[in-house]
Structure 1
Amino acid sequence: MADGISAVLVILITILLPPVGVAMIAGCGADLLINICLTLLGYFPGHIHAFYLEYVYFDRRERARHGQLTGRAAPGVYSDRVQNGGFQGYGTM
């Protein structure tokens, strides 16, 4: 239940400020820089990128919990934290 609440909070924050939502799930790195640039180019490109990262993050997190690990990296995602669904020791991507 706590994961559902945290997902809703991240989504609400992302609606207002996409880079803040990306920083919450990906940390400070290439994905955040890309999202800041996309948000400066237009409000919607930043949203699309942010929601894609969040989808990958929460999808990978749920799959890892059920033992459905994937060895392929999600395209356009540069954060290991997002690729691994926030789990350490998930495997190399």
Structure 2
Amino acid sequence: MTSGCTLLCEILFALLLPPLGVCLRYGCCTVEFFVCLLLTLLGYLPGIIYALYAIVLVNPDRDDYRYGYHTLA
């Protein structure tokens, strides 16, 4: 769980430079960062919308978020 100040800073960075806000939350070599970077390059508004979605609505602390996909053997 992130603190209120951290969340506020991530949202402010997401409004100014969307990939930076996502990078602070997930790291710089993640799928979320590259999707946000691509959307920001294609259009600033889609990058902001995705960054806010990724920061506010998606919870990276859940176990099934990252590791919910099972390999078929």
Instruction: Specify the alignment match of 1:14 in structure 2.
Output: 14
Give the share of equivalent positions with the same residue, in percent.
Answer: 34
> Aligned runs of 1:1-93 on 2, under 5 Å?
3-27=3-27, 28-57=29-58, 60=59, 82=60, 84-85=61-62, 90-91=63-64, 92-93=67-68
Give the aligned residue type for 1:9: C
Output the TM-score relative to the length of structure 2. 0.75
Q: Unpaired segments of 5 or more residues in structure 2?
A: 69-73
Superposition RMSD in Å: 1.7
Q: Unpaired segments of 5 or more residues in structure 1?
A: 61-81
Runs ≥4 residues deviating over 4 A: none
CA distance in 2, matches of 1:24, 1:5: 13
Number of aligned pairs? 64
